[in-house]
Chain A
């Protein structure tokens, strides 16, 4: 390590100490910013202390969960792992996560899609996981084509990185195709059977990005993911290197068997939470585990112990009522959440909180791409509440979906707005990015976390 990166490391750590131990503030950004300010090549220098490998996880939905699962799996084996668990996923957040310890076995790092260009060329990770690409935060990220370009360029500047890509996603495969042409090694994971689930509206990628023809699907799993193929140019899902087979998705959670190309069925993976999107997060985590040579039992132990405490599908009990909190920050995320709560056959209330702060994206037009109409036609959805800084936009959207929704000021107001409902009826609370952490804190204070049984 050079003198400069040594100084960068120490001043970064000092910043972390000052923030965290003295001021009791989050140290997830500034320490990394300090380190990068002193040593712009900090990421390329610090990677040397990671002995076995570095994994970067990106994709529109599922990054934080997948990153945490991979890190927990490696720790189950006894590895020392550096990880940005709190989801600070720009270059500064990644640098902050790499400050502690003199040496580690693995680094597992979540990266914002557009930040990959600042991270990959320096960090040159062993693996980049690309989970999916959905329309998200158009005012910040721009069009999906641009996001694809950025990731492909980032990979080009990190030739030793193997891309682990969701082969079921035409948009992620668009990146993989380009990367492969430029020499990147690509391994694909996906679901190798029709799940027979009702699929939601496809806002994206109905057409081949190579030639413009409409894509054919043998089946779709959710959104634009599935066994796709262009009838004109042949662009399609590749042979899967890692496939989920025997998939179950129900009220009890999800499970599947991981099957390697030309291999036999491996041990089943099971989680008692999540819908079909969770199959993909788990599949990605299982794929990384395989690549890192971790026994599948470690992944299962990590899953059994998984308790996120980060508001992602976290359950609370407030005044005897189950409150399920989850992140839903784009149309695909909200559609998946709607599927999940409709699978719960109990009568229930739903509260959606939508903010338009900078890190949420200020443009909320995507609310009109969500299939809220499905809530209108389900008799078990007894009440719908709209909150957040764009509560009124949401209320109008719900009105045109046929749902008379009440506006609420926040979590406390939402809780009192369901007090007249029987305590056996759960409240599903779906929030976008900046509304999540405040909601989690309030729910924690109001009631308490609910241990999964």
Chain B
């Protein structure tokens, strides 16, 4: 499939707006698009969430089943995060196994959850060395309107917050909540012509040379970062993004992701 072609005129238009301090949809540079999160949308999954962030639309399902722990962590559960950019979601996505973009997105979502120790993995142990809970986080992108990154990690956390360990199904007693102890939130910024904008729309994302994702936890500490794209960022730009990302994450967490 060919890449979508973007008219130079359109790039110029968005670029020129930026110089005037404006965005096409009228947002401030640090403003997110309209965000809605609905949970428990898939009752066959142990936890689920549907996220709409502007025109971006995705569903995250959490499946939990028993499995064998890794030999080096015999008393800890396992998290596996997978994200697919299916061809339903965009004219430029192709069928087939995930490519580097999808794998990068999945791994950044995974790192935010893992490194913030959002899930207490020791509580996912059933029999040390033999049997633990395996938590599968599957992100299904339905409509790509830009910034899949943040929508996916918000969806993953929202789905986990409502997920249950299916004890009953495995004859282990009553179902209980997944042991969550932190709420990591990722915030993505792009750089266009020296300016920093949060939550890029699809066109902004295509024009931007580089994006930076910063995932921070409840304490305002950084759990994960990822720079993606070929253009370098200055130290000042990175510091600015980190500050604003932590602040924004707090806002989003308080509004959408209450434990």
Do A and B actually bind? no
Q: Which residues of A contact B (CB under 8 A)?
A: none
Chain B interfacial positions (CB closer than 8 Å to A): none
